[in-house]
Amino acid sequence: MKLVSGAVVLCLWAATLAAAPEKSPPAATNEDCLTCHEDPAAKRANGTSVFVEKGKFSASVHGEAGLGCVDCHTDLAKTKDFPHPEKLAPAQCSGCHDDAVSAYSAGVHAQARQKSTGSQAATCVSCHGDPHSIVPRTNPASPISQEELFGPAVAVSTAADWHEAIQQANGTAYGLGAGIFTSDVAGAVRAIREIDAGSIHINWTPLWRADLMPYGGLKGSGIGKEGPRSAVAEMTDVKTIVLHGRPW
């Protein structure tokens, strides 16, 4: 008899717990965070900026997907207690991008960073851009299209016509080479005239070169031209010597 009443008491206690769970505050909304962070003058105690541009975030792939600030800044997920601590844990990309995070962790960039805290090896934001304005990898504004990758990757984006394609090709700070695949000869000639790149290939990629070609980029892609003849020319100062007759 005693045993049974003991069991009843336990059940009641469990029921009370379920009926009144400990209250956790609702997650902070983006508006909560932006109350302070959308102010361009928002700064850390050491003077560095903590400004987050609301418009840029809304237009980013994450803003459009409806992410909350606290989806990445996870240690603030359960707080409405502001101001929050000065030091926060690094933002998290895992949970949503497990494949990309584990591929990155296994790669040379993460390993270089583990070996040395001063490492300059690429992080997610080096390749995908400011964390609050990340755009899809197919967007020509992505650093994947804007920077000189020099890695085994191809940036693919679409263009409606020659005008837009040429604009995209010229829409970076660099101009080493361009490859144009087309059977439209007039279009190819237009691209040759208008694309600011050091070498232009019709129906092949700009990876092809021969030593006799002057090789080198325009804009941010290097200075001058290489290739034996061009390199000699680059390293030569031309002096004009004129020997006249007697000075008197």
Residues near ligand HEC (CB under 6 A) are 28, 30, 32-37, 44-45, 50, 52, 57, 61-62, 65, 67, 69-73, 76, 82-84, 86-88, 90-93, 95-97, 99-101, 104, 109, 122-128, 131-132, 134, 136-137, 144, 153
Q: How far is the CB of 118 from ligand HEC (least distance, A)?
A: 17
Which one, 107 or 220, has the nearer CB to ligand HEC? 107
Q: How far is the CB of 226 from ligand HEC (least distance, A)?
A: 26
Which one, 81 or 184, has the nearer CB to ligand HEC? 81
Q: How far is the CB of 108 from ligand HEC (least distance, A)?
A: 9
Which one, 44 or 209, has the nearer CB to ligand HEC? 44
Which one, 143 or 177, has the nearer CB to ligand HEC? 143
Cα torsion 53, 56, 61, 67: sign: positive
Q: How far is the CB of 173 from ligand HEC (least distance, A)?
A: 18
> What is the residue-wise DSSP string for the chain?
-HHHHHHHHHHHHHHHHHHSPPPPPPPPPHHHHHHHHTSTT-B-TTS-B----HHHHHHSHHHHTT--HHHHSGGGTT---SSPPSS-PPP--TTT-HHHHHHHHTSHHHHHHHH-TT-----HHHHH-STTS---TTSTTSHHHHS---SS-------SSHHHHHHHHHSSSEESEEEE--S-HHHHHHHHHH---SEEEESS-TT---TTS-B--EETS-SS-BSHHHHHHHT---------S---
Which one, 28 or 191, has the nearer CB to ligand HEC? 28
Which one, 70 or 191, has the nearer CB to ligand HEC? 70
CA distance 56 to 133: 6
Half-sphere exposure of 151 (CA within 13 A, CB side): 11
Q: How far is the CB of 77 from ligand HEC (least distance, A)?
A: 8
Half-sphere exposure of 122 (CA within 13 A, CB side): 16
Q: How far is the CB of 166 from ligand HEC (least distance, A)?
A: 23
Which one, 40 or 90, has the nearer CB to ligand HEC? 90
Q: How far is the CB of 210 from ligand HEC (least distance, A)?
A: 29
